Chains A and B, each alone.
Chain A
């Protein structure tokens, strides 16, 4: 017996939950006590009068029952003597596009529901396109509510033909259409309704659909999850084989390092076997000592993956905070986690029409084609080659939320051909020559809080001690390197990214760098921190209350901002996110600038 995973797509009133409820009921999966509960719930929340409301078998959250809609993906299980099924029931609303993408990511097939009275709608196109984007290439078209159009064959035929054209346009490869009434159960698990329809029922189609499933023919790829070291003699690499087969004696290459080895043993569930194939959770040992860790990919030696640190991807945004180019995220792909920046949004795609539009940001449920740049090169498979290796998520570095999900389209040449130049004079040597520990001292705080005053005092003291320093000041950098940037959120993110990178180069040169920037966003300060070695980066919060800054107003900016003449002014009409755990917090209302500078110097042992 095998397993088919499918997703159902339809809008609020298309009868999607009803259809699944029916399938569960008619295949005997809904048990007597479920049905008793259903009868109770139908009386309380039901939309079908006296009759059972099968949708309530599926809509499990309180808010869903109250509102009569599906909010989140629900997974359901049923089986026939021929096959087991896992259904992802997904909400159809545009604001839940992300949930549909979630359901599609693991599905082999999609049931697309259409209300026979309404025909193909913009949402039908959206649902089908999202499915195709996330790799679902076969569709069962359920033309529902046929009873309400008198089982009119011409209505069915017109919808079937119109959908066939749509499917071809969005990249769905295989479509089969069935006229159904989910409410009455016609042509779901038993034939009924239309004498003119002699084709398979929906369930028969589900039983017969090919399972694209697991690719055992392509070159082997094993993303390493864990290294097992029960004793000094055994070093096993655990992971789930993403594609292909691996047998004892096979030559493999460890990516991205490129070291080669042969498979010494293959173990599945504690039992040694000759070979394993795609989909199995295995433990491998190699015939020689190699440095392999979580995130590496063991590839068939004859066909390794290209290694790249830049690629293009379709990305769906899932977070409340928008995606802004320049901001840094954790990217998780295969078993690897690496810092990543979206360097450009090539275009946003209108989910209803698939028209390309220029965009400066992506908000929740937007889909776009973007370019990503990684902190380190990784072995890269496209999503078309491998769903297991070519799909990734972006994790917010502050909230840890899963903020976006993407599919790799292609590597970018730039990444493949640009290599880090390794120099024989390195940071340690440059630092030793200057007889100091390089640092990045990052001062953040409101305009007028006293950042530059303190940075100046700290630098003078360091120079007096014979240290080599530099101050990167917000206003000064904006006159040159960042003269093209304004004060919108997107531009501020880019402003800070550039400054952080410049500071990193200066620390690499062996300098003690003072950065004096408002830097209002916690995410960017976190991004900056991630560029440096542990202990190298000091966040100094110059904590001056807004009222005090405004009273000082050394450049007259607060007065202008209050008068409405400066948009996006931090503290007035743009947010400042207070650091939660800075290395140093300076209370400028309680001490002199000299004493505060001393605090910073003490923190770096200067």
Chain B
């Protein structure tokens, strides 16, 4: 039953994202999360509390430790990577996005474009892979391609095997716009 309902939920979310394209940058992050959850039939009360994920990270030949704290209700996140000789951090407080680079310098990434990207990231985090009956149950392996440049942005969800899935994109080429289906 759940699997049969999933394509409709995905299609609903895709339609929601398409409608939100123009106003995403100006919209309140919480309202985007609430709208996305409502479109998918998920109650906000399903998300409460905080989780911490921790593990290892390998990047550019270096090994280190990684951790993320997520506020399930609002999508606020704090991620840190510690490679010993340097560490980095990313914080999204629901309205502002900071990145601490390897030098220790802290940068506020506050352009409308980046705010929109991060709001979308927060949405994906909250809805796409933290939801209780995650897409993963239906699509057990999928990936997100994020293309950024100027003001264009798109997300493409694809299965690694089987039929391609495109939804949730804010700008999808006509030739790839197809209903999300299993």
Q: Is the A/B pair a real complex?
A: no
Task: Name A residues whose Cβ lies closer than 8 Å to a Cβ of B.
Answer: none
